[in-house]
A and B are shown apart, each in its own frame.
Chain A
């Protein structure tokens, strides 16, 4: 089982359709990407309503760059970080373009609700938005949701 987290903390999972892998994906399906996805494959999946990017371990940061590239290429759908993500990475996930984070129950048990809420201040103290100004495609994509 897993636990979904957004800016309000632990919330029930609202996506019940199955996620399919890139090999089996067709337009309209929710898509699950592995962290070693070739960035060239991102262009053909921009119509997916929801993309979940896997974090096999919390030390694998490729998902953050994949999320950012999807937003840069105009992806407007729902973007979710999935797997071994820790509370300390919540701000990184949100700033990279993810909408929410889905973690395994084992991590959720060790890192309860309040530890995630502590990092929902991701819009504060952000050097990136300061250095880029308001032209960040991450912000614009999320604002249109």
Chain B
């Protein structure tokens, strides 16, 4: 993991002093709310429905046990004893007082963490593949590049008052687990003739006008990374629309300008900017890469694991769903589900965070990741330790075997907390998860991603859910639109709207009909929902969702 040096530490301490002064100046009237708002936002402080919310960055999703314990402590000391992990690898505290936030930021700084640029019209927390550094299909660990971008974007003097927010994601594996095609800039590490470079994708994004990003550079050399993304943001800062916030994101600028035209502008700006980088960033990068070398893995054969796997069915089920292939075949990547049916997706109590921190120390080389799917990952666990880990997780409701299944739902906080929401997300996720868990058919249903957003801003990624649910306000009543066929991976696809929305009461029966239809039309249990949808199109699913319409059509 990256180790903060004196520069990073004094930067954060200084920044926290500034924010402490800004809070005091807001309270004494030196700053108006209009002036204070961008400053609090660039330090992660929102005002939500019931209270302020502090959004803390977990850069590229990586934590150690001391950091997770501190997150648990902060939740207890200044909040309500829990935190909410988000789709952008942040943790949110829902109940802080404005006057306590400087203290919370100091407590974060004590473990090399911060809330800088987790909000506001700035370059946001850089996200990465949550299996980074461990995945069997990895070309190179994306985190050193994400850390380099974190340093470059932090407090960047030109880019604190951008037209709108700007999100960067980095992936270093063949499988895209970082949703790079739905980011303002997505970077995918590729390899050519033994050297690595970046497939640079720009203009992706969800929200009101969802778009899949377009490749603007097929193989950007590593040493051009910072000047190139600086050129992208520089061009957009001047060209992006400031008259309408719904048209301000770079996806709209790319769409309105055209990819060829904007590429020409970016290339020209790149040529201007490139000489201002002396190359010292590359020597910094090399020392960052050294920090990310990863643990020395235990060299011990796998014996007992196979016996356990063959004899204990519940354990086997957990292994099958919650572990993934590690680059070392004596180890596994373990996903700890924060989606026990009935619980709030992505929430963890302080007690749960502490247990995970302890187990990461005991069995996981002190490494923890937060996934954009709102689960926690132990990236390196020796297979001989998996059974003990499973047994230790179970009493804390952390051994739910549902990763990638219908109850592993992404849900934004929705109207229960969020000031922007138009409907609730959490109770919908709870209902769907509880329903299919009770039927005991989710393993039969197989891989199926349900993603729920409580408003058009799409924090719940509904556009790229196999089943997407968007909560809206229809004349003062919650109403839910269903999209089908979305895909968040390297084959990213936007889901298609199925038809008219459903009331909160009608939604679960509709989802149930949809699943029943899938089970009856799939070729075999091996054909996933998404594959079936791609083979057959919307028709059979639409018929299941809207049976009355179908009957009317037949009758007519």
Contacts and interface: CB of A to CB of B under 8 A. Distances in A.
A11 interface: no
B540 interface: no
Contact of A133 (B11, B29, B234, B279): B279
Interface string A79-104: 00000001011011111100000000
A115 B277 contact: no
A105 interface: no
Contact of B160 (A92, A121, A127): A92
B249 to A, nearest CB: 15
A127 B158 contact: no
Contacts, number: 118
B157 interface: yes
A73 B275 CA distance: 11
Interface in A96-135: 96, 110-112, 115, 118-119, 121, 124-128, 130-135
A106 to B, nearest CB: 10
A96 B30 contact: no
Given A64-B158, A72-B276, A127-B154, A110 B30 contact: yes
A95 B276 CA distance: 14
Interface residues of B, number: 45
Interface residues of A, number: 42
Contact of B276 (A62, A65, A121, A136): A136
Contacts of B272: 69, 72-73
Contacts of B30: 110-112, 115
B410 to A, nearest CB: 31
A86 B38 CA distance: 11
Contact of A135 (B11, B238, B275): B275
Given A65-B238, A110-B31, A95 B22 contact: no
B151 A61 contact: no
B239 to A, nearest CB: 9
A73 B89 CA distance: 38
Interface of A: 39, 58-62, 64-66, 68-69, 72-73, 86, 88-89, 91-96, 110-112, 115, 118-119, 121, 124-128, 130-137
Given A61-B160, A124-B14, 5 more contacts: A60-B242, A61-B237, A91-B157, A132-B280, A134-B278
- Top-9 shortest CB links A-B: A61-B161, A133-B278, A95-B157, A133-B280, A135-B278, A92-B157, A64-B158, A125-B11, A131-B281
